[in-house]
């Protein structure tokens, strides 16, 4: 069955709808890329390393102790599982909260 002939205005409406859908899809894609970039930056900011608790350290003449954990948060962490829990339970929810507050402000 052949396609029915349509008027020029109907073609323009279709083009406008397709353009609007494309722009909406493009905006969602950009939002996803911005979100992904923010998540990557936050994960990279945290590190399973060592930091001085209650500086200065004993080596510097103080009473501070070098402990394992996340230097960005100054949180004591002893295992990789605890570090992953820290990212999932502490870092990511805080980032999502910050991003939602920023989005509401715009």
- Sorting pLDDT into bands at 50, 70 and 90, what band is 22? low
pLDDT at residue 7 in the model: 59
pLDDT: is 78 or 103 the higher one?
78
The answer on pLDDT for 90 being more than 90 is yes
**Burial letters for 47-70: b for 16+ Cβ neighbours within 10 Å, e otherwise?**
ebeebbeeeeeeeeeeebeeeebb
Give tens-digit pLDDT for 37-87.
Answer: 999 999 999 999 999 888 777 777 888 888 999 999 999 999 999 999 999
Contact by Cβ (8 Å): 65, 57: yes
pLDDT at site 9: 59
């Amino acid at each position: 069955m052949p396609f029915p002939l349509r008027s020029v205005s109907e073609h323009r409406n279709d083009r406008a709808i397709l353009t609007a859908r494309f722009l909406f899809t493009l905006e969602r894609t950009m939002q996803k890329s911005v979100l992904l970039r923010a998540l990557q930056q936050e994960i990279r900011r945290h590190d399973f390393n060592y930091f001085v608790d209650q500086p200065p350290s004993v080596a510097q003449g103080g009473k501070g102790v070098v402990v394992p954990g996340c230097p960005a948060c100054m949180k004591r962490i002893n295992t990789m599982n605890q570090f992953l829990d820290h990212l999932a339970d502490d870092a990511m929810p805080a980032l999502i909260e910050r991003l939602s507050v920023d989005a509401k402000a715009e």
